[in-house]
Amino acid sequence: MRMRKGDLLVLVVTMLIGISFVYSCFFRDQELGNIAVLEIDGEIVEKFSLDGEIKQYRVETAAGFNTLAFEDGKVRVIEADCPDRLCVNFGWAQQVGQTIVCLPHKVIIRIENKAADYELDGVAY
């Protein structure tokens, strides 16, 4: 079977899309966050500066507890009494958009930038 010009064009475009996807996922510098937002049951409870002095923070919920550790601009869950302990196994989070979730306790830790709080979400007239 012979390749036509249209087939070649589709192949080249597909390869370019694949290369740009791999670059954006693995080789692009990720933006580091400077605050960790703690949500419990969908409500923002606390915002922690990742540049601050806090070393550990214990989160108490009706279902149990999670202990957060802060170090060198990163945060992680170091202890939890949930059955699966996936939040503990997640490791360190420091890039904008990363989240650590503990479903049994309904706890979410999300990494953001302070500057993101001041940006507009939509069109302003």
pLDDT tens digits, one per residue of 101-117 = 999 999 999 999 876 55
**pLDDT band at 122; cut points 50, 70, 90:** low
Q: At a CB cut-off of 8 Å and minimum separation 6, what does 56 contact? A: 67, 68, 69, 70, 78
CATH of the domain at 108: 2.60.320.10
108 and 58 within one domain: yes
Note if the pTM is more than 0.75: no
What are 93-103's pLDDT values in tens digits? Answer: 998 989 999 99
64 and 4 within one domain: no
Residues spanned by the domain of 1: 1-30
41 and 87 within one domain: yes
- Report the pLDDT value the prediction gives residue 12, as an integer from 0 to 100: 87
- Report the pLDDT value the prediction gives residue 118, as an integer from 0 to 100: 47
Domain annotation covers residue 88: yes
48 and 16 within one domain: no
- Report the pLDDT value the prediction gives residue 80, as an integer from 0 to 100: 95
97 and 43 within one domain: yes
